[in-house]
Amino acid sequence: MYHKAFADHEHPYLSYGLLYPKAAARHVDHTFHAEKVYILASGSLSKNTDAVTQLEDALRGKVVGVRRGMTPHTLWSECIAVARQVKELDADLLLTIGGGSLIDAAKIIALAVANDAFDFTKLEHLTNNRDASVQRPDLAPPRIPIISIPTSLSGGEYSDHAGGTNDQTRHKHGFGPSPPLGPRLIILSPQLAMTTPPRFWLSTGIRAVDHCVETICSPYSTPASDAAAAEALHKLVPGLLRSALDADNTDLDARFQCQLGVRDAMQAVKGKAPLGASHGIGHQLGPLGVGHGETSCILLPAVCAFNARHAANAANEAHAKDILVKQKRVLDTLWAEPNVATALASRGLGKEKADLSACLGAFISELRMPRSLGALGVGRDKFDELASSSLKDRWCQTNAVPLRQKAQVMEILDMCA
């Protein structure tokens, strides 16, 4: 199959149904007519499997360079080093095989090459300065197309945004969506997804669930974004449970349903409903070494509990009711899935009594994902700084109950300790 990922967007396209080496070779030859392919490959895939070698063999001598492994959170120094190589080799296509950090790196690299940004000062000029709505007509759009073969459920391959960390300051900066940075083609491979460590697969899947929940619960969501988010949950939540229970690592359809669910989740995000505090606070945890998926495992139930608790303090009665109605909509979606309902009931929860926070927490625990910051080495001594930096994040401001005071963030962090 080969079709647009989103009917109302020109890119990316989706390809699935063929084994990924054959699909990649076909599109390199016939879709992009590329001759010089630079591969950004997962370090673990390169070390522990022959997945990257299979890809190189299928491309029959068109590979001019391979970067095997990049540091999580996409360091500027590494992006600049690869961008210089890509420029020197005159590569005409970037191909990523791996997780979200590689995808972000490819976007930044393509933008850097297009704008001759091969040092920190020039790369900083390409950032969006924390304002993703800003238009940048002064920047040249990337000329090198990207093919992405994702092995996680982070969904970054569907986005025109990218995030990269300045090694010198340890601050993470955004790039895009002006000019657009996303891949032109995404190749879905449930077979390749089988190589992803379960903890990483499941935690990034919860990140996609977080996209859906915070979209539906946003005061600014639309019927279209709500529908896409609900459809994503119908695929993701049972698919993640099946993946977690797949001891023999044979359930290809569970992986594929999760991959399709991520596409739907990103369709919801493209509806431009601003997200909430799970994402906003989570952004601050990345520099402390916490993966995006793990931040969602810990923060999402706590943020939902905070929003429900403080709904009565919302700006007006209608908004207070809206918060609870939206949470009920997510709850109904979860309980509508038989295997999810069984899992929740096995943990002592009842459909009519358990709130959204409790159900999300039970579901995440069922996947054996981390439930506290302490379990990930983030102690209370970090909370004050986390709270201060979180207040600067735009998605804390657009939370269902806007976070404007440090005490509000501290209340959420205390639930996550």
Q: Which tokens hold the place of 95?
A: 């191909």
Per the CB < 8 A criterion, the answer to whether 111 and 117 are in contact is yes
- Average pLDDT, stretch 187-205? 97
- pLDDT-derived band at 169 (thresholds 50, 70, 90) equals confident
What one-letter code names the amino acid at 148? Answer: S
Q: Which tokens hold the place of 12?
A: 């990316």
Count of domains for the chain: 2
Q: Which tokens hold the place of 185?
A: 């083609």
Strands 162-165 and 93-98, by their bridges, are unpaired
- pLDDT-derived band at 193 (thresholds 50, 70, 90) equals very high
Contacts of 41 (CB under 8 A, 6+ apart): 52, 55, 66, 67, 68, 69, 96, 97, 98, 102
Q: What is the pLDDT of residues 114-131, one digit of tens each?
A: 999 999 999 999 998 767
Output the pLDDT for position 68: 98
The CATH number that applies at residue 284 is: 1.20.1090.10
Query: Where does residue 237 fall: left (phi above 0), alpha (psi -120 to 50 degrees), or beta otherwise?
Result: alpha
Instruction: For residue 368, give the 3-state DSSP assignment.
Output: coil
Nearest to 302 by CA among 401, 234, 199: 401
90/98 Cα distance (integer angstroms): 23
Q: Which tokens hold the place of 14?
A: 């989706």
Q: Residue 271's domain spans which residues? A: 197-416
- pLDDT-derived band at 171 (thresholds 50, 70, 90) equals confident
pLDDT(67) > 90:
yes
Q: What is the pLDDT of residues 200-228, one digit of tens each?
A: 999 999 999 999 999 999 999 999 999 99
Please indicate, yes or no, whether residues 228 and 318 belong to a single structural domain of this protein.
yes
- pLDDT-derived band at 18 (thresholds 50, 70, 90) equals very high
Q: What is the pLDDT of residues 73-93, one digit of tens each?
A: 899 999 999 999 999 999 999
Please indicate, yes or no, whether residues 160 and 241 belong to a single structural domain of this protein.
no
Output the pLDDT for position 181: 95
pLDDT(313) > 80:
no
Output the pLDDT for position 320: 84
399/55 Cα distance (integer angstroms): 43
233/213 Cα distance (integer angstroms): 9
Nearest to 38 by CA among 104, 99, 98, 82: 82
The CATH number that applies at residue 148 is: 3.40.50.1970
Count of alpha carbons within 13 Å of 244, Cβ hemisphere only? 22
Q: What is the pLDDT of residues 250-262, one digit of tens each?
A: 999 999 999 999 9
Please indicate, yes or no, whether residues 88 and 235 belong to a single structural domain of this protein.
no
Task: Please provide the DSSP assignment of 22-44 as one string.
Answer: HHHHHHHHHTS--S-EEEEE-HH
pLDDT(315) > 70:
no
Please indicate, yes or no, whether residues 177 and 308 belong to a single structural domain of this protein.
no
> What is the overall mean pLDDT for the chain?
95
Q: What is the pLDDT of residues 347-368, one digit of tens each?
A: 999 999 999 999 999 999 999 9
Please indicate, yes or no, whether residues 183 and 229 belong to a single structural domain of this protein.
no
Output the pLDDT for position 314: 65
Please indicate, yes or no, whether residues 40 and 157 belong to a single structural domain of this protein.
yes
Output the pLDDT for position 276: 97
Output the pLDDT for position 187: 99
Nearest to 277 by CA among 305, 310, 299, 308: 299
Output the pLDDT for position 4: 97
Please indicate, yes or no, whether residues 218 and 139 belong to a single structural domain of this protein.
no
Please indicate, yes or no, whether residues 218 and 318 belong to a single structural domain of this protein.
yes
Please indicate, yes or no, whether residues 186 and 208 belong to a single structural domain of this protein.
no
Contacts of 208 (CB under 8 A, 6+ apart): 153, 154, 155, 232, 236, 258, 261, 262, 265
234/164 Cα distance (integer angstroms): 32
Q: Which residues are 193's β-sheet partners?
A: none
205/320 Cα distance (integer angstroms): 29
- Average pLDDT, stretch 294-304? 97
pLDDT above 90 coverage of the chain, percent: 88
Output the pLDDT for position 288: 86
- Average pLDDT, stretch 17-43? 98
Which residue, of 191, 221, 251, is where some domain finishes? Answer: 191
- Average pLDDT, stretch 308-320? 79
Please indicate, yes or no, whether residues 201 and 154 belong to a single structural domain of this protein.
no
pLDDT(143) > 80:
yes
pLDDT(278) > 70:
yes
- Average pLDDT, stretch 7-31? 97
pLDDT(186) > 70:
yes
Which residue, of 164, 191, 218, is where some domain finishes? Answer: 191
| 27-61 as b/e: b if 16+ CB within 10 A | bbeebbebeebbbbbbebbbeeeebbebbbebbee
Please indicate, yes or no, whether residues 178 and 254 belong to a single structural domain of this protein.
no
Please indicate, yes or no, whether residues 388 and 241 belong to a single structural domain of this protein.
yes
Which residue, of 154, 175, 191, is where some domain finishes? Answer: 191
